[in-house]
Amino acid sequence: MDAPAELAPVISARDLRVRYGDRDVLRGLTFEVRHGETMVVIGGSGSGKSTLLRTVVGLKKPSSGEVRIKGVDIAKAPAREVDAIRKKIGLAFQDGALIGSLSVGENIALPLLEHTTLEPTTVEVMVRIKLEQVGLSGCENYGPSQLSGGMRKRAAFARALAMDPEILFFDEPSAGLDPITAAGIDDLILNLKKAYAMTMVVVTHELASAFLIADRIILLDRGNIVAMGPAQEVKNSRHPRVRQFLDRIADSTQDDDVDHLRMYTEGIR
């Protein structure tokens, strides 16, 4: 389901580079995420996909290049504009990142109470609705530490959904979960996609789930985009590095260097 081409991209990155000390983590990424599409970023550990997510939402400043969300340069815009954008996005962190001193319900209520003028009773109802959406009804009064890993992730989804965001970001939504819970999370993402037509960016290394939920896929390798395109196209790609990742073939050190060189000679798709 491709969005109409004339729509302006919701997120656009241009020649995005990030360095940690003297290590290049992202080496010049250019991509766009269109309105209403689900973009899945896959890649191995250390490929830079989490850094990419952190840079897009402005938690990490790029060393060069720029990221724009709805046209606002997230690294350079004044705090007020960035805050305005951030009220329209939701980010579900890998381990939930729920505020430990607040209950699950209070966590979800937090952005609503801080940023809206809704009555506390209304907020209470909204919290209940959001929790029901992620299958956690009745868990309002638990502390984050009392929840299992899967429940914490779901609670984090509920918090990300609290402000009815236009863009949702997921960091490793199914990492470290059993297959049944992981499938439940995939269903949840598909439901959100169907029901609200939200723009979503999902970072994951779970291939099955990636191809299930993605409209388009970016495959990151060592800070470079080695493949980008509709899910099916990436699945059928014959690029050696893509094949290696999709067919789960371990790195052999010699091939590794050759591949690495080939990556530069073939250029970035």
Interface with another protein, residue 250, by CB under 8 A = no
Q: Both tokens of residue 20?
A: 């940690």
Interface with another protein, residue 23, by CB under 8 A = no
In this complex, which beta carbon is closest to another protein, that of residue 202 or of residue 217? Answer: 202
Q: What distance in Å separates the CA atoms of residue 237 and residue 228, rounded to the nearest whole number?
A: 10
Give the interface segment with another protein, choosing from 75-83, 178-186, 214-222, 233-241 (CB under 8 A): 75-83
Q: What distance in Å separates the CA atoms of residue 153 and residue 177, rounded to the nearest whole number?
A: 10
In this complex, which beta carbon is closest to another protein, that of residue 74 or of residue 226? Answer: 74
| Region 94-123 residues binding another protein, contact defined as CB under 8 A | 94-95, 97-101, 110-111, 113-115
Q: Both tokens of residue 239?
A: 């690029």
Specify burial of residue 230 (Cβ count, 10 A radius: 0-12, 13-18, 19+). middle
User: Are the beta carbons of 269 and 229 closer than 8 angstroms?
Assistant: yes
Give the interface segment with another protein, choosing from 12-20, 85-93, 202-210, 249-257 (CB under 8 A): 85-93
Residue 17 CA to chain centroid, in angstroms?
A: 18
Give the interface segment with another protein, choosing from 12-20, 92-100, 193-201, 222-230 (CB under 8 A): 92-100
Nearest distance from residue 108's CB to another protein, in Å?
11
Interface with another protein, residue 243, by CB under 8 A = no
Interface with another protein, residue 59, by CB under 8 A = yes
H-type helices in 18-119, by residue range?
49-56, 79-86, 104-115
Interface with another protein, residue 87, by CB under 8 A = yes
Q: Which long-range contacts (CB under 8 A, 24 or more apart) does 246-255 make?
A: 246/207
User: Are the beta carbons of 188 and 176 closer than 8 angstroms?
Assistant: no
Please give the residue ranges that form the binding site for another protein (CB under 8 A).
54, 57-59, 79-80, 82-84, 86-87, 89, 91, 93-95, 97-101, 110-111, 113-115, 159, 163
